[in-house]
Amino acid sequence: MKNKGKVVVLISITSDIGMALAERYSRDGYTIVGTYRSARSLDQLRALPDCHLFFCDMSDKESISKFINDYAALGLKWDVFISCPCNPLPIKAFFEGDFDEWSDSVHVNVIEQLRVLHGIHSHRNKSAHVVFFAGGGANNAVVNFSAYTASKIMLIKMCEFIDAENDDLNVFIVGPGWTRTKTHDLILANTDKSDEKHRKTEDFLKSGKGTSMDDVYGCIKWLCEQGKGVASGRNFSVVNDKWKGELSKVLAEELRSDVNMYKLRRCRNDFLQGEKGGSK
């Protein structure tokens, strides 16, 4: 296999996306290293060749530190790091919920994911790839989801920081769109049936539709293959961006030529400035 000897690290490998990616990377010849909190699906994962599994509770610093030490002891240098944890809770208005619960959610959704990356960063091969997952809300306010949404926006910006500070890392974040995962069960269990988010989630699950895991994997692979000049520091949409098909080359060329494309930016920064009518 062409990828024999390469290593992918999957944080929260027993998540639905983590499981799907583990199976696909394994078929492509990668050695798999994964962290889990729940024991579900472990037998299925243990059946994969060259798969190393470690318990890691992303809400517990000591558990994270233990995994970082265990990874160092494993002696494998990673090529791809993919972080899959997702906690949509609390689903409450900011001032109506418990702040500690809000803070804990932010830690799982962004801070502790960065802690793991920071801890195993030195145990990588050159020209490695780092992948995070984005969510909705970068361009609007998703009511009652501030902890989750703000965390994802921070991850988007951290990709830009890490990209600017590291010449040998291709780091990007991918929005998978509506995928069929257990996260939706949490949303249904923690929202009122009259809530719009509840209705939309229920309708989605009944529809049988959703972003295919093959597309999620395909998009990540394409971005890794394109490398730092195209992918790094940016936020991508699996569903909406033209990463596959005849327009993929056009997209890659445009990304190379515009350093601001697919990044968090103010829109129309030059309004009423300089020659456009403002003060000079």
pLDDT in tens, 170-205: 999 999 998 989 888 899 999 999 888 889 999 988
CA 194 centroid distance within chain: 30
Percent of the chain with pLDDT over 70: 96
Note the pLDDT of residue 280: 41
Question: pTM higher than 0.85 for the full model?
Answer: yes
For the stretch 193-196, contacts whose Cβ atoms lie closer than 8 Å and that sit 24 or more positions apart, written own/partner, are none
How far is Cα 115 from Cα 103, in angstroms, rounded to an integer?
16
Q: Residue 279 pLDDT more than 50?
A: no
How far is Cα 199 from Cα 178, in angstroms, rounded to an integer?
14
pLDDT in tens, 43-86: 999 999 999 999 999 999 999 999 999 999 999 999 999 999 99
Mean of all residue pLDDT scores within the chain: 94
pLDDT in tens, 115-161: 999 999 999 999 999 999 999 877 788 899 999 999 999 999 999 99
Domain at 7-265, CATH homologous superfamily: NAD(P)-binding Rossmann-like Domain (3.40.50.720)
Sheet holding 235-237, edge to edge: 51-55, 31-36, 7-11, 78-83, 124-133, 169-175, 235-237
Q: Residue 273 pLDDT more than 80?
A: no
